[in-house]
Amino acid sequence: MADVTFHVGEKFPSHTALEDKIDRYQSANSVQLYRRNSRTLAVGRRRCPKKNFNDDIKYIEVSYACIHGGKDFKARGDGNRNQG
């Protein structure tokens, strides 16, 4: 069976390669992951216009978390709606 462990700072040649490894990891460990936060290629190009990015990638930064764990969600609002 192929290696299905992840390491901090690991890099992938394409978004498809990352998704394939995530699918194998989920199957091997019986977990479900979701994309907690990400930064797209378009945003990366805006922030660093002189840097060359690989067009085969979709995100320049992405964080995944287990659907049953991960960091606690922190609401940004105070719970009140504007009923105008």
In a domain, 5, yes or no: no
Residue 80 has pLDDT above 70, yes or no: yes
In this prediction the pTM is: 0.61
- Average the pLDDT over 30-44 and give the result: 85
Question: Domain range spanning residue 43?
Answer: 15-66
In a domain, 78, yes or no: no
In a domain, 4, yes or no: no
Alpha-carbon distances of 47 from 35, 44, 54, 83, rounded to whole Å: 21, 5, 15, 37
What confidence score (pLDDT) does residue 72 get?
A: 66
What confidence score (pLDDT) does residue 6 get?
A: 84
11: its two tokens:
């890099």
In a domain, 55, yes or no: yes
**Among 4-8, 28-32, 55-59, whose mean pLDDT is lowest?**
55-59
* Contacting residues for 65 by C-beta, under 8 A, at least 6 apart: 33, 34, 36, 71
- Average the pLDDT over 60-77 and give the result: 75
| Tally of domains within the chain | 1
Q: How far apart are the C-alpha atoms of 75 and 26, rounded to whole Å?
A: 28
